[in-house]
Structure 1
């Protein structure tokens, strides 16, 4: 285990304990507010992200993980990836070359490839990359540590990090590397749990996104913006994501009712556009009115 004596983001030595989880301290920088496990837990990435992580065995379910390969959940994930791609295409103004770091089973890669993008992915999990190859026919995936994988300079127009940046042992160095891989004017899309959210502040050590030893750093809009701008990125847009509660759940009598309604209605012409509109209203209601969104999403341009 490695103990940090200075904040990796701002260099301050003012790291103080926020709370303790499973005998490990989450500390926060008094100057920039970045939160992190300290000392940093040691773990085997390949062991953590084996097949059980994606299929949701009992041990993993205790940490809130679901079976992401359940057919109904796969359909929802692919629909969500289409929305992500729309955001990215609007910012970039065209299709191009996309790298998904921490690509998992390949949902975003499949979506982008089917839409006409040239795609590549990388993930530490051999199970995940095999799924991307075998089930989706994506050969351009690399298996290995994301902090050791290499790509040529200016090789991509877009890099995506969906719930990945919190796993990096050195997020500053990783953003520097990503900047090299991006072509001038390229887009970095990042989604991560928000430590400054209402849910995080209310739940403290019980917050669903506090995960030992997977999540090493905890960002907010403020700290994520600071990280990206320090490496030459310009933030274009910030969105809030609501994962567990919302207007659709309430209207359908809870998550299971919403799931059944979605599966019935998702093939109706115009339904996806309607869902996007409801989701935006949902985000506004919970994030702006109730302060309940606990995931932040940033879109940034290199240069």
Structure 2
């Protein structure tokens, strides 16, 4: 446990558990059984292609140190281990960290606060920061901390829901109670995140939008579990309104 104030951290965790025990305690479904498994596969294939390309551009087979920042139950660590000789995962939730260690015993797993990260400067070659930043109130501070721990020339792969787009804002407007259920505190677009990355001192290399579905949270999960439905929505979204995709990735580096 690498936090400055253990008592304060545990107190915050208990408050989160009391407010939403299911979100804190339930296991995160792996890709194979998720209702969005075809979308998750598409995201995974994009991320792996980026890491392979960036490592090849540097003349490397693997990164020296790769961090899954906000690793949760470790579902992504299971495939990220292919790309690093030293794999790290951190989260604020000890229950999830125990699962992550069971899922990937070889990984270095530790509890840490993203806003006060317990590693030296320029420590990681690759930081995978996937669908975490939307949960962090001080998101700019988090990005600045990511820049601090990233090596010059290293790669940040940042993923987030594209919920600032009008299509997914429509989903919230159609179901106002969903705003009370979500633990997201930010609703981004690619343009907003791109601007924040630059403000944090990161150099943006590329952005990618992936996925599409109906602006209805319950219906989206029910029908996109079928590959042909997910593929059809993906085709329509990319062809007609790519800016309204369900997910986005921004790839950045540190000069």
Matching residue within 79, 83, 95 for 1:111: 79
CA deviations on 1:84-122 (whole Å, 9 max, x unpaired) are 222222134332121111101112222121344421111
Q: Please, what TM-score do these two structures have when normalized by structure 2?
A: 0.72
Is 1:99 equivalent to 2:75 in the alignment? Answer: no
User: CA, structure 1 residues 184+165, in 2 after alignment: closer, same or farther (shift >3 Å)?
Assistant: same
* Aligned 8 A contact 2:73 2:97 in 1: yes
Q: Structure 1 stretches of 5 or more lacking a match?
A: 1-41, 57-66, 246-252, 262-277
Distance change >3 Å, CA 78–CA 142, structure 1 → 2: farther
Q: Map 1:82-231 to 2 at 5 A.
A: 82-93=45-56, 94=60, 95-96=62-63, 97-205=65-173, 206=175, 210=179, 212=181, 214-231=183-200
Q: Deviations over 1:218-239 (max 9, x none)?
A: 2211111111111222211111
Q: Which residue in the other structure is 1:275 paired with?
A: none
Distance 2:250 2:119 in 1: 23
Aligned partners of 2:50, 2:201: CA distance in 1, in Å? Answer: 21
Deviation at 1:154, TM superposition (A): 0.9
Q: Larger radius of gyration, structure 1 or 2?
A: 1
1: CA distance, partners of 2:17 / 2:108: 20
Structure 1: distance between partners of 2:163 and 2:94: 30
- 2:87 and 2:107 in contact (8 A); partners too: no
Higher helix share: 2
RMSD, aligned CA: 3.6
Name the structure, 1 or 2, with higher relative contact order (CA <8 Å, separation 6+): 2
1:218-272 Cα distance to aligned partner (Å, 9 max, x none): 2211111111111222211111121646xxxxxxx944543xx8xxxxxxxxxxx
2:158–2:250 CA contact under 8 A, matched in 1: yes
Would you say the 8 A contact 2:162–2:168 is kept in 1?
Answer: yes
Instruction: Answer whether contact 2:127 2:155 (CA < 8 A) is retained.
Output: yes
Report what 1:59 is aligned to: none
Equivalent in the alignment of 2:10: none
Segment drifting more, 281-290 vs 125-134: 281-290
Unaligned runs of 5+ in 2: 1-12, 215-221
SS of residue paired to 1:90: helix
CA contact (8 A) 1:190 1:297 kept: yes
Q: CA deviation at 1:149?
A: 3.2
Aligned-pair CA distance for 1:208: 9.7
Contact kept, 8 Å, 1:98 with 1:159, in 2: the verdict is: yes
Tell me by how many angstroms 1:197 deviates. 2.1
Which segment drifts farther, 131-140 or 176-185?
131-140
Of 204, 207, 217 in structure 2, the residue corresponding to residue 235 of structure 1 is: 204
C-alpha separation in 2, matches of 1:87 and 1:207: 37
Question: Which deviates further from its counterpart, 132-141 or 167-176?
Answer: 132-141
For 1:115 and 1:163, locate their aligned partners in 2 and report how far apart those are by CA, in whole Å.
Answer: 20
Match of 1:300 in 2: 252
Deviation at 1:174, TM superposition (A): 1.1
Determine if the alignment matches structure 1 residue 285 to structure 2 residue 236: yes
Partner of 2:33: 72
User: 1:169 deviation in Å?
Assistant: 2.0
Q: Distance in 2 between matches of 1:240 and 1:80?
A: 9
